[in-house]
Chain A
Amino acid sequence: MTTLRNLWAVPTARFALVVLAAVALLALFGEALAPHDPLRQYTDRVLEGPSADHLLGTDYVGRDVLSRLMTGTRLSVVGAAEAVLIGGALGIPTGLASAWLGPRLEWLTLRVSDTLVILPFTVFAIAVAGTLGNGLQQAMFAIGVLISPIFFRVTRAVALGLRRQQYVEAAELMGASQWWTLRKHIWSKVLPNVAVTAAQATGAALLVVASLSFLGLGVSPPAPTWGGMLASDLDYLAQQPWAPVYPGLLMMATVGSLNLLADAVREATGDAPRRRRKRRSPSASPSAGPSAAAPVNARKENADA
């Protein structure tokens, strides 16, 4: 709750949360709230500008643009979330394990992570889609695998810093099991860093999902996605030069909000708020716990990598 209160105290976080809540609302209820069937073709009203019937106009086969934007939110956002979940599921446990379970596993996971880092997102996703079939699940699996090293490195960096903390060593000397130590002492410190990473990774994944749909991968037409709409709009710039702005704005707002939220989470859980609070009230006692050290270590590990 303290973290949430700290988060809400940051103005940019409030803005980001409002935007993301709206996007989440669209993802959940966009199709139901859409004024028209997003697939219905009004072929006598092709490429029309905004009107009372179609607030954002119609596309190249006469479909309502607003309805497609609202409906397309789900596939665009869910795809990104799916990739981040896969990335987290692969990266976080291996990150913890590499810091905890000995040098052989550490060597192996680091080499795998290094290998994945050098693969370009879009090209790898295209290759996977070409091999496993052109579907959203295949593309998201590919993106999730490539995102996992980010989670791996952040988790590992934090865990490495905590591994050497006296209270962790004390718990181990007193006979605490590895699982207990991880659960009680490590996970609560890793979580804020994972949250920051997840927010940033979601933004990146959202752009990759949009890029893939732009290239015609992932989601088959006529299902609407932001990237797919952007791609098709580009063919009709002479008729509707404003059309790419709509999906572009939605993408920009969502990715921007995720990045703002990531910054705010870092601020709410890391050094920054304490520094600010310190400036505001010099008498406040500084926190010297591992949660303060962890992000610093995380950054150092990342810099080393």
Chain B
Amino acid sequence: MTRARTSPPRLNLPNPRQSRRGFLGLGLAAGIVLSLEACGGASTADSGSGGTKTIKWAWQLPTTWDPVTSSAGSDVQMLALAYDPLTALDEQGNAVPWLAESWAYDEAGTSVTFTLRPGLTFSDGKPIDAAAVAASIERGRTQDGSLIAPQMATIKKVSASSDLEVLVELSEVDYQYPLLFAGKTGMVVNPAAFEKDAAALATQPAGSGPFTVTSYVQNDHASMKKNPRFHLADEIKVENFDLYPQQDPSTAVASVRSGQFNVGRLGGAQVQQAKDAGLDVQVIDTMYISVLDVNATMAPFDDPAVVEAMKFGIDREKVREVAFFGLGDVNYQPFPPGYVGYNAELEDLYAYDPEKARQLLADAGYTAPVKGTFTSSGQSDPAVELIQAQLKEIGIELEIESIPPTQHTQLVYLEHSKALTYDGFAGRESPVQAFQVLFGAEGLMNPGRKTSPELEAQLEKVKKTPTDSPDYPALLQEATKIAVTSFPNVFLQLMPSAIARKGVSELPDLPSLRRFEGVTA
């Protein structure tokens, strides 16, 4: 039996079941279209292209906006958006003027006078004079909980000797301060802010940098606008800077391509993908070097032979090629080539030699595989797995232990409870400071807390030598050699910063800090 239609089909209302199906079908089709669009189709909403005058970078958020309590070396990059240091570093790592237009040590080398540029102001309009700078430095070296105070241990007194001259008196000769003041240690915080409420600086920075923070949501984003009172404001070509945490590498290219961000950090696996997507890819040399933190008080690394074998047993070139798609350069020391502390003698110091590694273990009496634990906080799982496999080949069998990135500082740096950890060193403005972090008695990346009298004596010589002295490079490079050959840290490779840009001009190629003078969007 067939059912006769009682009305034209087009006017016939569908029954609820058909309607639901139709709706679901339409919804599915719309979802597919939207998904495909989001997955990298040509975006029509090109908010990231030229003319927006806004940089939107999924880069990283600082642990705090207060340079005094910042607990991560890499924070300096973000803090430099809101604060100005007294000095800056050039491409070779030499101190150059920034807020201070000049500085001079006395004859004995126990005091240094920084002369400020005239007419400087904080973002709230208050003047940056010598008194403000002295107060800022004084807070950094005396405030409870200051994480920069140890770097200023040799400062005896800070005072304003005139409106523009800051006198830093030292308890011993130390020519590193102009370098040291190029980083967090030298960032000038507005006294009006910390005298009123120092704790508020964690979320409301008060400096004189190129941008001022207008809104900040922890772990989410920071919105900034151009600071017209920045001393190089004419060179800041963008009006806004939106900072976000680093996105998942798998979405880095899509997020820049779609216009969600107009600058994104790339991993080695995404570089070609970004180029294929038509994005501008820039690889910037940095001071960052990947390194294995070795706790020489914990087995099996309490045996120097095991550590030595490990240094020879890692095929760094293979790790670079496979884990980082060829990005970066193999390096056996904490400084990049061209830097004043780089020691050319160490160029092939621990070149891959598995036979030598096995022999070292055999000579030390190991007949069975050496067992241990290798901690990873997810910085580079491929590199960790490659190193584990390479060390197994020479007779060091390590079990990988994964810890959350948020526990890395606590477990590795503070508790020193991990024997071997994959880590990275972001570099420091002063090479002596870098040595203190890596090899000092209180160094964060010296988990075994072992020290070397020979290195300490050499560093004393370095500190007592003016940085422009012809003897300075040789003394520093000797310190590098002592450290690299006597400490267990295993340096792996220099890691450049690869970024994808869309509608944003090229970033200045400085290894120490990302600067945005002259950058357009």
Contact = CB atoms under 8 A, between A and B. Distances in A.
Given A134-B401, A220-B399, A221-B400, A61 B386 contact: yes
A220 B400 contact: yes
Interface string A35-57: 00001010100100000000000
A61 B388 CA distance: 12
A61 B250 contact: no
A134 B403 contact: yes
B253 interface: yes
A26 to B, nearest CB: 23
A60 to B, nearest CB: 5
Contact of B322 (A43, A232, A235, A239): A43
Contact of A220 (B269, B321, B401): B401
A175 interface: no
Contacts of A41: 385-386, 389
Nearest to B373: A220
Given A43-B322, A46-B322, A221-B384, A238 B273 contact: yes
Contacts of B273: 238
Nearest to A238: B273
Nearest to A46: B322
Interface in B307-337: 318, 321-323
Interface residues of A, number: 21
A235 B269 contact: yes
Contacts of A100: none
| Size category of the binding interface on chain B | 20 to 34
Interface in A202-245: 216-217, 220-222, 232, 234-239
B385 A238 contact: no
A130 B386 CA distance: 26
B300 interface: no
A222 B322 contact: no
Interface in B371-388: 376, 378, 381-382, 384-386, 388
Interface in A125-151: 130, 134
B385 A239 contact: no
Nearest to B253: A238
B404 interface: yes
B269 A238 contact: yes
Nearest to B389: A41
Nearest to A63: B385
A60 B382 contact: yes
Contacts of A60: 269, 322-323, 382
A41 B323 CA distance: 12
A280 to B, nearest CB: 26
Contacts of A130: 404, 407
Most buried by A among B270, B399, B402, B407: B402
Given A46-B322, A134-B403, A234 B381 contact: no
Contacts of A43: 318, 321-322, 386
Contacts of A134: 401-403
A234 B248 CA distance: 10
A62 interface: yes
A61 B322 contact: yes
A240 to B, nearest CB: 10
A239 B249 CA distance: 13
B402 A220 contact: yes
A224 to B, nearest CB: 11
B394 to A, nearest CB: 15
Interface in A55-107: 60-62
Interface in A231-290: 232, 234-239
A204 B321 CA distance: 39
Interface string B207-251: 000000000000000000000000000000000000000001110
A216 B385 contact: no
A62 B400 CA distance: 18
B142 interface: no
B85 interface: no
Contacts of B270: 238
Contacts of B62: none
Nearest to B271: A238
A217 B407 CA distance: 14
Contact of B269 (A216, A217, A236): A236
Contact of B389 (A39, A217, A237, A238): A39
Given A220-B401, A221-B381, A235 B388 contact: no
10 contacts: A60-B269, A61-B322, A62-B322, A130-B407, A134-B403, A216-B378, A221-B402, A222-B385, A232-B381, A238-B276
Please provide the 5 A-B residue pairs with the shortest distance between their CB atoms, ordered closest to farther: A238-B273, A234-B250, A222-B385, A220-B400, A41-B389
Given A41-B386, A130-B407, 11 more contacts: A43-B322, A43-B386, A46-B322, A60-B322, A60-B382, A61-B382, A61-B389, A134-B403, A232-B381, A236-B269, A238-B276
